[in-house]
Amino acid sequence: MSEEFLKVAHAARDAAAELAPLPRAPKDRALRVMADALVAATETIVEANALDVAKARESGTSEAMIDRLRLDAGRIEAIAEAVRQIADLPDPVGEVARGSTLPNGLELRQVRVPLGVIGIIYEGRPNVTVDAAALCLKSGNAVMLRGSSSAYESNTALVKVMQEALEDTEVPSGAVQLVPGLTRDSVKELMRARGLVDVLIPRGGASLINSVVEESTVPVIETGVGNCHVYVDAEADLDLALTILLNAKVQRPSVCNAAETLLVHADVAGTFVPLAMAALAGAGVTVHGDPAFVAQGAVEATDDDYYAEYLSLDIAAKVVGSLDEAVAHIRKYGSAHTEAIVTRSQGAARRFVALVDSAAVAVNASTRFTDGGEFGFGAEIGISTQKLHARGPMGLPELTSTKWIYTGDGHIRS
Amino acid sequence: MSEEFLKVAHAARDAAAELAPLPRAPKDRALRVMADALVAATETIVEANALDVAKARESGTSEAMIDRLRLDAGRIEAIAEAVRQIADLPDPVGEVARGSTLPNGLELRQVRVPLGVIGIIYEGRPNVTVDAAALCLKSGNAVMLRGSSSAYESNTALVKVMQEALEDTEVPSGAVQLVPGLTRDSVKELMRARGLVDVLIPRGGASLINSVVEESTVPVIETGVGNCHVYVDAEADLDLALTILLNAKVQRPSVCNAAETLLVHADVAGTFVPLAMAALAGAGVTVHGDPAFVAQGAVEATDDDYYAEYLSLDIAAKVVGSLDEAVAHIRKYGSAHTEAIVTRSQGAARRFVALVDSAAVAVNASTRFTDGGEFGFGAEIGISTQKLHARGPMGLPELTSTKWIYTGDGHIRS
């Protein structure tokens, strides 16, 4: 590992040890100071951001992507406001998860504690830099941020402002660190920093996440790949199915909880397939379907379509012979994010919920509700699609571990 | 991956899908059938075990190790009884961990579900084969067992009996699998079976655990390495400190929650070091100490001694200038398993608990209490020394994940 990386990692580790025992009040004060400092530094941040924007434009980046990258006074104010909202959330640290007095009189408590140092590898918008830092600090963790190289100047400026702001607070300024370097090497260093970094959370596309999972010796929480299914059951209310399908696919197609595959029970396919085709076409959606859908004007689907996370106005579609066939399809092709069933049958809903092995299962509701904000968490660091530690939307408690404490007066084992 | 391995892994995966939605009653029935079958097959099991014992004797294995390996009617009855006790434990699957009705009327539930397929890599006694299988089945998981090659015949016989017993039950017999092959290759296959195996739990020595952590692409739960500390504070009751120290070191030195290092505050070292030296010597313990201990007859400690998990009648020992120095020593040399403080001071206890970052912290109690049985879990699959997913003794709930379920009547996002 490079000396530069080790310096930053050790600084984060030291800061984590100092930050972990801090109670809520000083952490909230620090977050508010940070928010104010970001607004006060608007000019500096916008200047740094302009360098990234110019570089992106030179390299022929699309205007849509450049817009995602751009920071202005309004956006910085919104970023700062999000930090203030995180300050308002309850502190998960110190929460007693379980507790009892054992038969021998030992008092046993399981208490939430910070994870330590969290590494975040992310693509896209620079607001993630601040959002991730704020969530980690609030939960008592130090953070090592490795953003997109396309936002390097912006991220450097944002981290500098946050670190300087923390210098006047009880939160150690080393708790927010930018991983040095622009190349893939710095990602590799983060992935091999076992013992220095407690957990890595990659946020981005499937290829980023897969490469981190493959190469990392630091424990990883996989987030955000969503090939979500809407299954229209034999006993579905078809109007309701259409409403849910359209909302799940069209309301915001670029996000991981948008629907990517439609499965329709054969019993209602005769009526529902033409209805769905018309409605989806009306909303500008390209359907990649099996013969039943192709007969109504869909493009022919390949096996890859059923695996796809389009994140666009495309959807794969298939008629299935039974609920169990729908479940088998989801198990084979899905990413275990969110699957919805539309049905009037209590039995079908119960069976679908029991058999589908995904982070979230929606009954007569859009897949779009799998979201920390919608679940009432107040904030979200990502949506875990793995089974270990956290599954589904991750709020502040998911950024903690626990510690067992037992107190006696000379208790020994016999 | 070998065809043989894939066949077994797919069988486990299919069984896991079938087992996951089963409620408690059929699982408990299957466990009781399994327990009875083990007792009924005593002769077959003892014969297979005799082959392992003979091979061990040929290769010059110590009598103590051979005794650990040996199975007889009494031990098989005890193994079966442990299975029946696991059947008596509550089922974590289906437990509602959290739940609420969202402002829009969506009913949200977070429910415990099985992890899926659990791989266990373990050394030592063949009773682990049955114990691990029973814990996994009870929590709705399929299990892939990779025991020590020295117990291969015993493990093969035990798994065969369990599989055959399950054939007459509602639990699919494929839910218990022995990883085929005796070489390290079969461990490697298990570690690379991402997507087939949901989690790996290595149980054994530090070198086994480290190699799994380094090489596995399957998520790992580290267990069981314990360099536990007893810190005798400036304000300790010294009699009590001596009792706790002796219990933590001597009561069962071969286990991970036994004490391996003694730290003594300088203020009480003058009195306590000679007391401790005499008592430890009386119990047959070799002390590897710093100059203060060497002056009282200890062997000189090297840096390695402070890192060591002896699992024997040895202990490292050191005088520290302050509680914070003790904490810093533990952070540097410890394995984050269990650390005890002996003190009459509420402030010292509070500070030690806050600053020590280990799975368990004991106040005026022996480190030996960090144990699933002592904590009232009824059974234990291991003691996690990592921060993700589970930390400390792991009972049945630690073998589960969760699933979010939300139910509406046509809810869409606007």
pLDDT tens column, B21-49? 999 999 999 999 999 999 999 999 999 99
What integer pLDDT is reported at residue B181 of this predicted model?
A: 79
Query: How many angstroms away from the CA of B70 is the closest CA of chain A?
Result: 26
- Kindly state whether B350 is in contact with chain A, defined as any CB-CB distance less than 8 angstroms: no
> Looking at residue B182, what DSSP letter applies?
S
Query: How many angstroms away from the CA of B196 is the closest CA of chain A?
Result: 12
H or E stretch covering B121 = strand B117-122
Tokens of B390: 């589970």
Q: Is B407 close to A349, i.e. CB distance below 8 A?
A: yes
Cα A271 from Cα B180, distance rounded (Å): 51
Q: Is A387 close to B401, i.e. CB distance below 8 A?
A: yes
Residues of A in contact with B100 (CB under 8 A): 376
Residue A160, SS3 per DSSP: helix
- Residues B367, B338 contacting (CB under 8 angstroms): yes
- Interface A-B, measured as beta-carbon pairs within 8 A, has a size of 203
Residues of A in contact with B244 (CB under 8 A): 410, 412
Mutate to test the interface with A, among B238, B369, B414 (most CBs of A within 10 A): B369
Residues of A in contact with B96 (CB under 8 A): none
Q: Per residue, what are the HEC states of B286-326?
A: EEEECHHHHCCCCEECCHHHHHCCCCCCEEEEEEECCHHHH
Please name which of A109, A93, A80 lies closest in space to residue A22, comparing C-alpha atoms. Answer: A93
- Torsions phi, psi for A222 (to 5 deg): -75, 135
In B321-340, the residues whose Cβ lies within 8 Å of chain A are 331
Query: How many angstroms away from the CA of B247 is the closest CA of chain A?
Result: 6
What integer pLDDT is reported at residue B335 of this predicted model?
A: 94
Chain A residue with minimum CA distance to B353: A405
What integer pLDDT is reported at residue A186 of this predicted model?
A: 86
Quick one: how many helices (H) and strands (E) in chain B?
Answer: 15, 16
Cα A122 from Cα A99, distance rounded (Å): 37
Query: How many angstroms away from the CA of A350 is the closest CA of chain B?
Result: 11
Mutate to test the interface with B, among A406, A407, A414 (most CBs of B within 10 A): A406
* Length reported for chain A: 414
Q: Is A244 close to B410, i.e. CB distance below 8 A?
A: yes
- Kindly state whether B358 is in contact with chain A, defined as any CB-CB distance less than 8 angstroms: yes
- Kindly state whether B360 is in contact with chain A, defined as any CB-CB distance less than 8 angstroms: yes
HSE (side-chain half, CA atoms, 13 Å) at B87: 19
pLDDT tens column, B228-259? 999 999 999 999 999 999 999 999 999 999 99
Residue A392, SS3 per DSSP: strand
Q: Is A361 close to B237, i.e. CB distance below 8 A?
A: no
**Residue with the two structure tokens 């029946």:** B84
What integer pLDDT is reported at residue A206 of this predicted model?
A: 80
Query: How many angstroms away from the CA of A399 is the closest CA of chain B?
Result: 9
In A101-160, the residues whose Cβ lies within 8 Å of chain B are 102-103, 106, 108, 110, 113, 115-116
Cα B405 to the chain's mean position, in Å? 31
What integer pLDDT is reported at residue B404 of this predicted model?
A: 98
Q: Which residues contact B330 (CB under 8 A, 6 or more apart)?
A: B229, B231, B263, B339, B356, B358
Mutate to test the interface with B, among A96, A371, A412 (most CBs of B within 10 A): A412
Type of residue found at A172 = P
Q: Is B402 close to A411, i.e. CB distance below 8 A?
A: no
Sheet holding B142-146, edge to edge: B176-178, B142-146, B117-122, B199-203
Q: Tell me the pLDDT of chain A (414 aa) as tens digits.
A: 899 999 999 999 999 999 999 999 999 999 999 999 999 999 999 999 999 999 999 999 998 889 999 999 999 999 999 999 999 999 999 999 999 999 999 999 999 999 999 999 998 789 999 999 999 999 999 999 999 999 999 999 999 999 999 999 999 999 999 998 777 788 999 999 998 999 999 988 888 888 888 889 899 998 878 999 999 999 999 999 999 999 999 999 999 999 999 999 999 999 999 999 999 999 999 999 999 999 999 999 999 999 999 999 999 999 999 999 999 999 999 999 999 999 999 999 999 999 999 999 999 999 999 999 999 998 899 999 999 999 999 999 999 999 999 999 999 999
Query: How many angstroms away from the CA of A295 is the closest CA of chain B?
Result: 28
What is the widest separation between alpha-carbon atoms in chain B? 78
Quick one: how many helices (H) and strands (E) in chain A?
Answer: 15, 16
Q: Is A376 close to B100, i.e. CB distance below 8 A?
A: yes
Residue B197, SS3 per DSSP: strand
Residues of A in contact with B103 (CB under 8 A): 376
For B59, other C-beta atoms within 10 Å of its C-beta total 8
What integer pLDDT is reported at residue B84 of this predicted model?
A: 97
Residues of B in contact with A21 (CB under 8 A): 354-355
What integer pLDDT is reported at residue B185 of this predicted model?
A: 84
pLDDT < 70 positions in chain B: none
What integer pLDDT is reported at residue B77 of this predicted model?
A: 98
Write the CA distances from B28 to B25, B38, B86, B142, B390, integer angstroms. 5, 15, 8, 15, 25
Residues of A in contact with B196 (CB under 8 A): none
Domains and CATH numbers, chain A: 3-223+391-406 (3.40.605.10), 228-369 (3.40.309.10)
Cα A99 from Cα A112, distance rounded (Å): 12
What integer pLDDT is reported at residue A95 of this predicted model?
A: 97
- Kindly state whether B209 is in contact with chain A, defined as any CB-CB distance less than 8 angstroms: no
- Residues A360, A372 contacting (CB under 8 angstroms): no
Q: Is A387 close to B214, i.e. CB distance below 8 A?
A: no
Query: How many angstroms away from the CA of B393 is the closest CA of chain A?
Result: 9
Cα B4 from Cα B363, distance rounded (Å): 50
What integer pLDDT is reported at residue B10 of this predicted model?
A: 97
Q: Is B410 close to A219, i.e. CB distance below 8 A?
A: no
Chain A residue with minimum CA distance to B214: A217
Cα B93 from Cα A128, distance rounded (Å): 35
Residue of A115, A391, A411 with shortest CB distance to B402: A391
- Torsions phi, psi for A163 (to 5 deg): -60, -45
Q: Is B244 close to A412, i.e. CB distance below 8 A?
A: yes
Q: Is B389 close to A388, i.e. CB distance below 8 A?
A: yes
> Looking at residue B383, what DSSP letter applies?
E
Cα B329 from Cα A394, distance rounded (Å): 34
- Residues B365, B340 contacting (CB under 8 angstroms): yes
**Residue with the two structure tokens 């696991």:** B86
Cα B283 from Cα B312, distance rounded (Å): 12
Mutate to test the interface with A, among B110, B364, B412 (most CBs of A within 10 A): B412
Query: How many angstroms away from the CA of A343 is the closest CA of chain B?
Result: 10
Residue of A220, A361, A369 with shortest CB distance to B413: A369
- Residues B30, B170 contacting (CB under 8 angstroms): yes
Cα A322 to the chain's mean position, in Å? 32
HSE (side-chain half, CA atoms, 13 Å) at B13: 16
Q: Is A388 close to B17, i.e. CB distance below 8 A?
A: no
Write the CA distances from B387 to A23, B70, B335, integer angstroms. 20, 35, 12
What integer pLDDT is reported at residue B184 of this predicted model?
A: 79
Cα B349 from Cα B362, distance rounded (Å): 9
Residue of A100, A194, A391 with shortest CB distance to B403: A391
For B78, other C-beta atoms within 10 Å of its C-beta total 12
Query: How many angstroms away from the CA of B387 is the closest CA of chain A?
Result: 5
Is the pTM for the entire model greater than 0.90? yes
Residue of A108, A199, A247 with shortest CB distance to B375: A108
Provide the b/e sequence for B244-271 (b: ≥16 CB within 10 Å).
bbbbbbbbebebbbbbbbbbbbebbbee
Chain A residue with minimum CA distance to B407: A363
Residues of A in contact with B354 (CB under 8 A): 20-21
H or E stretch covering B157 = helix B152-166
Q: Is B361 close to A403, i.e. CB distance below 8 A?
A: yes
Query: How many angstroms away from the CA of A337 is the closest CA of chain B?
Result: 10
Query: How many angstroms away from the CA of A217 is the closest CA of chain B?
Result: 6
pLDDT tens column, A95-138? 999 999 999 999 999 999 999 999 999 987 899 999 999 999 99
